[in-house]
Amino acid sequence: MTAGTDRLPVAGLCALALAGFVTILTEALPAGLLPQIGATLGVSEGSAGQWITVYALGSLAAAIPLTAATRSWRRRPLLLFAIIGFAIANLVTAVTTSFIIALVGRFIGGVSAGLLWALLAGYATRIAPPALSGRAMAIAMSGTPLALSVGIPAGTFLGMLMGWQLAFGLLSAVALMLAIWILAVVPDFDGETRADRPSLAQVFKIPGVRPVLMVTFSFVLAHNILYTYVAPLLDQLRLVGQADRVLLAFGGAAVAGILVTGVLIDRWLRPLTIASIALFLLSSVTLAWAGGMPILIYGSAMVWGLAFGGAATLFQTASARAAGPSADVAQAMIVTVWNAAIAGGALAGGVLLDRVGAGILPWAGFTVLIVAAWAEMSGRAKRPLS
């Protein structure tokens, strides 16, 4: 189905959503298994958390250069190239006993993620009717909350029960099956002609692009300071061994967040973004004061999930609207900023965890979110998020 019809191409959008699912699960699955990974490979939990840092660095390094270098390529082969990269990365992670080799595999996965995220938003809007672009984006981005709500809790449980290597091996198999599905249901498109290609500097200067990047970086940095080290944080809060259940609560609320976003985004992009920042701030300060009270901890996780569920859709839609025909390049910039924040969150959180303790993490996230709130409310993001 093409953008010329008045109905959404659901099968193709669901394939894109599964691609996002694989991407997020590959990225974040270590967060729930840091103690097991560290024990197997003989490293600290803070060091194991650098799996997420290296993955993010791969995306950070690859997103803009790869997107710029492949702008003339046909879109579906490029999408398949990224999916096969996930299969290879997760297979390497599953079979190696070397922490260094695992880091190499994680970097390959990050490179694949950088390319895929740059393609995903533009692909979703290109195969959908223009009037339904926001809903198409929401469906394509639904893989993120589904990975958080179903994939990561299930993967964490499986990793605890049968070993983390099996979880990554199964993820490699899912990526291979996804490649077959994409060949069956996702249409192919031409790349850009040389005349259609503004420079990276020109795209960066488009009104609205830079404010979205600033809000995105602050929000995602706060998220990853907390999410990467959720297992040791929960141990500190006296919920030892409950990471899978807390992540399930987080992810279930994230699904609700993406559903609300999908319904409202075409009319209420800016208010939804403000609400997401406010809810995340509330969750962070509650986690900081929760102590050992499970009802507050689970409630905070759900509020956090609700705030985060639609975030990728909100930021990528704002970027695509601001950039117009240069959406793929603007998405590559979002990917770069997003993964800089992931790497920064994993790195900063690891340092804080090892030197201060897990109790400081909610306060660190809260502080960074104040920056996101200031950027939003000061009017810097007013144009793209209106």
Reported as a single tens digit per residue, the pLDDT across 332-384 is 788 788 878 887 888 899 899 888 888 899 999 999 999 988 877 765 544 44
For residues 313 and 138, the answer to whether their CB atoms sit within 8 Å is: yes
Cβ-based burial of 374 (10 A; exposed 0-12, middle 13-18, buried ≥19): middle
pLDDT attached to residue 275:
94
- CATH architecture of structural domain 10-190+198-377: Up-down Bundle (1.20)
pLDDT attached to residue 144:
76
Side-chain half-sphere CA neighbours of 12 within 13 A = 23
For residues 307 and 245, the answer to whether their CB atoms sit within 8 Å is: no
Q: Give pTM, 2 decimals.
A: 0.75
| Under-70 pLDDT residues of the chain | 1-6, 148, 192-197, 325, 327, 378-386
pLDDT attached to residue 1:
44
pLDDT attached to residue 104:
93
pLDDT attached to residue 342:
80
